Structure 1
Amino acid sequence: MQHEAHDTHQGHQHDHGGGASWSMATRATLHCLTGCAIGEVLGMAVGTALGWGNVQTLVLAIVLAFFFGYALTLRSVLGAGVGLRTAVRIALAADTVSIAVMELIDNSVIALWPGAMDAGLADAKFWTVLALALVAAFVVTTPVNKWMIGRGKGHAVVHAHHH
């Protein structure tokens, strides 16, 4: 199975001349951003609403971002008929670096923006900084995904199973 997936992927990589288009990288990053944003917003909102400290809120947001990022990939790979064990491996291979970079950037923006972590849910600053942090994460992660896909890593692993 792995050898077949590798051969399928190699053909996929060859179709792109050993690289990846910006369009493909953008789609992969938007997919990742969707899961990360769901987890990030939920984590920040829950932590803020419960009056948790900054560290606890950031940890919850990061854990939920990884959970929802992986969950979206698992849903699509399982929908393609791949078994659960293989689907989990694909999700981990496809999304770990992308989610990690995205989380590093967006949580750094939020943590370093003066007053952002102290803003409440009803404060425009909370939502504005969160949105800007996600945009910054998208901008930084897209070239990372382009580089990884062009080398048969990251989201390219998912494409090998979408036939």
Structure 2
Amino acid sequence: MQADALEPLHRTVIRPEWLDYNGHLNEAYYLLVFSHATDALLDLIGMDDAWRRANGMTVYTLETHIRYLHEVGAGVEVQVDSRVLGLDAKRLHLFHRMKRSDGAATLATAEMLLVNIDMSGPHSTPWAAPVRVCLDRLRELHAHQALPDGAGRSISLDRPKKSHTGS
């Protein structure tokens, strides 16, 4: 594994059949692009398809938060860079950022929580030692930097404060 290989982790061109009725990338296909970036990360840390099959291990996604920041049309080449925000014995906190390949503007972000799975159960299980070493290396790569813009956000509407009236 090359620790500096996270940017970009995945590139693709937006296909016309991925567009919605507004002529923009459909929300489901944002997730597809981010999912392919996660697959590329798994390959990078040594958990490629052959390893997963040989070891009876895989990764499940527990949670995903996508922010749609700019419209994307057909024919646009996008790239996804990724960052390991944290991990523990069984889980991985990952942040993906999608940009145009020819520009710096962030089009969308995906924050994900993944869990390592032993398929014999299936049940969660600690990362295999070589995988954990790679993940630790990737986490350390950006550990000195502030969290990326949008990381840790939750979905909410501002709620008006309740007024208390005496009766």
| Smaller-chain TM-score bracket | 0.3 to 0.5
TM-score (normalizing by structure 2): 0.35
Taking structure 1 as the reference length, the TM-score comes to 0.36
| Higher percent of residues as helix | 1
Name the structure, 1 or 2, with higher relative contact order (CA <8 Å, separation 6+).
1
Work out which of the two has the higher radius of gyration on C-alpha atoms and give 1 or 2: 2
